Amino acid sequence: MSGAGAYVFWFAAFLAVLTAVGTVAMRSAIRASVALLFHIISLAGLFLVLHAQLLAAMQLIVYAGAVVVLFLFVIMVLGPTPDRSADQRGLLIRAAAGGLMALVMGAISFALISFAPPMLPGVTACPPGAGAECGQFGGVEALGGVLYGSAALPFELVSVLLLVAVLGAMAVARGHSSEDREALKAKKLAQAGEK
């Protein structure tokens, strides 16, 4: 995997890291979600380098088209919220936890990038003499065949999962606010008094 793929990899990897840091570090949630959008687009580019065309398209449709828009809707519904928490307890331990995690992950990345040899020969994934089906790796036909073949049952179960998630989200988001609850309690008390 050299040539054009390598250039796309380095560009998309740089963009992915930059926008991931932006997502985490942005002070306002709306800027963070726009950074997340660009992160998802650059990850779709990486998926294309890895010959996962269908998943790259799905990444764009599901994440960029649905999840980020959902985030933006929620930010719009909530409106401007107080930016900083007044509670500054545990600031030191939080910074220490973050620094430790960054150190561990940085060490793993460094070790993998600098010492790991390519695990398998044949980086191009299709060794010379391979059949035509290898060239279609990750395409709609090949991946769809697996999804409707050996993975058909979990694929159908995903629809049940999404249905349950939608119903659960509606049930959780429709709850009463504290004022509503007070009003409801007062009403019940008044009714009990009448009797």
- Of 134-163, binders to other proteins (CB under 8 A) are 134, 137-138, 142-143, 146-147, 151, 154, 158, 161-162
> What minimum distance in Å lies between the beta carbon of 193 and other proteins?
28
Does the footprint of other proteins cover residue 47 (CB under 8 A)?
yes
User: Smallest distance, Å, CB 195 to other proteins?
Assistant: 31
Q: Tokens 């600031």 map to which residue?
A: 91
The full length of the chain comes to 195
Contact between 115 and other proteins by CB under 8 A: the answer reads yes
Whose tokens are 């990899």? That residue is: 9
Residues from 60 through 89 that contact other proteins (CB under 8 A): 62-63, 66-67, 70-71, 74-75, 77-78, 81-82, 85, 87, 89
Shortest distance in whole angstroms from residue 34 CB to other proteins: 11
Question: Does 57 interact with other proteins (rule: CB under 8 A)?
Answer: no
What is the amino acid identity at position 138? G
Distances (CA, A) of 65 to 41, 48, 52, 109: 11, 18, 19, 30
The distance of closest approach from Cβ of residue 70 to other proteins in the complex, given in angstroms and rounded to an integer, is 6
Task: Please tell me the distance from the alpha carbon of residue 72 to that of residue 90, in angstroms, as a whole number.
Answer: 30
Q: How many CB atoms lie within 10 A of CB 41?
A: 19
- DSSP run (H or E) holding 132: helix 132-135
Looking at residues 4 to 33 of the shown chain, list those that interact with other proteins (rule: CB under 8 A). 5-6, 9, 13, 16-17, 20-21, 23-26, 29, 32-33
Q: What is the DSSP secondary structure assignment for residue 139, as one 8-state letter?
A: S
Using CB under 8 A as the binding rule, whether residue 193 contacts other proteins is answered as: no
